[in-house]
Amino acid sequence: MTKDRFYFLRAFRSNLKTGFSVDLTTNCPNNCVYCYTQQRRGTGIYEREIVDELYYGGEILHLTQEEVDRLNRSGGLRLFSGGDCPRVENYNEIPEWALQELTHIKGDADEKRLSLKAFTKNIIFANWAVRHNIRCQLSIDSFGTGFPLEQALSLRLQYPHLVRIRTLVENPTRIAYWGERIDVDILTLYHGRNLEKYNLQTMPWYRSKAFAQAAHDYPTKVCCQTGKCETCPVKCGYTT
Ligand code: SF4
């Protein structure tokens, strides 16, 4: 797919880790203290400008069969890599324009037999997604900004083929706590800047002893063991 000057303003784009990804906004409503997207702002490195609404241009239909197969081997095309599903101000609805985009994306994905996996903290979206047979990674955390745990557990019970619970692991002392929980499927080890105020300690997959130990202890749960979804053994928990 060629890049032009509107490339960074498009919903669908290539992604170093996941192959491709889709974002309907880069102006994430969640305001997590550990947000990687916000940490990159002002650095010029993998930085995305803030855009409220991004539109899907039918790119899925132009994927080659090889690209579709590769994405399916990665657990599906990732929805929301630099943000979350947009929401209207009262938080109780998905905006109409975003619903139209999501319906378009799902229709094209079905036509290409492409799985979708959405990373989200948005309850309204998750309930919509599971009813439309879209896989969901429900992101929880210890900071009060994640998907509410009780509702995540309930959705996981109702839709065991679609829903996985993913948690942020804040620092090495928390690896075993999260790793031993049988109702938590995927561990994302924090890999942003050290933030002492929040007890956030970076554990990048490529040069951290803590990460290597976690991957050894919880090989079916630790995200990013190879740095690429295509070669990942975990596949967001969608291995069957
Ligand atoms: S668990 Fe694997 S497939 Fe899922 S996001 Fe992490 S690296 Fe990618």
7-34 pLDDT, tens digit per residue, is: 567 899 988 899 999 999 988 888 899 9
From the list 188, 231, 181, 238, the residue with the least C-alpha distance to 211 is 188
The number of CA neighbours under 13 Å toward the Cβ of 41 is 10
How many angstroms does the Cα of residue 197 sit away from the middle of ligand 1?
28
Binding site membership of 74 for ligand 1 (Cβ less than 6 Å): yes
Q: Which atom number of ligand 1 is nearest to the Cα of residue 233? A: 2
Residue 238: what pLDDT? 94
Cα 208 to Cα 115, 145, 148, 190, 212: the distances in Å are 32, 26, 30, 11, 6
Specify the pLDDT at position 5.
Answer: 44
- Mean pLDDT for the chain? 92
The architecture that CATH gives domain 7-237 is Alpha-Beta Barrel (3.20)
* Assessment of whether the complete model's pTM goes beyond 0.85: yes
Instruction: Compute φ and ψ for 5, nearest 5 degrees.
Output: -70, -15
Give the number of the atom of ligand 1 that is nearest the alpha carbon of residue 235: 3
Average pLDDT rounded to a whole number, residues 95-104: 95
Least confident piece of the model among 15-19, 60-64, 131-135, 146-150: 15-19
pLDDT digits (tens, 9 = 90+) for 126-141: 999 999 999 999 999 9
pLDDT band at 70 (very low <50, low <70, confident <90, very high): very high
**Shortest-distance atom of ligand 1 to CA 17:** 8
Among the ranges given (71-75, 84-88, 168-172, 183-187), the one the predictor scored with the smallest mean pLDDT: 84-88
Give domain limits for the chain: 7-237
Ligand 1 neighbourhood includes 63 CB (under 6 angstroms): no
Q: How far apart are the first and last CA of the chain?
A: 30
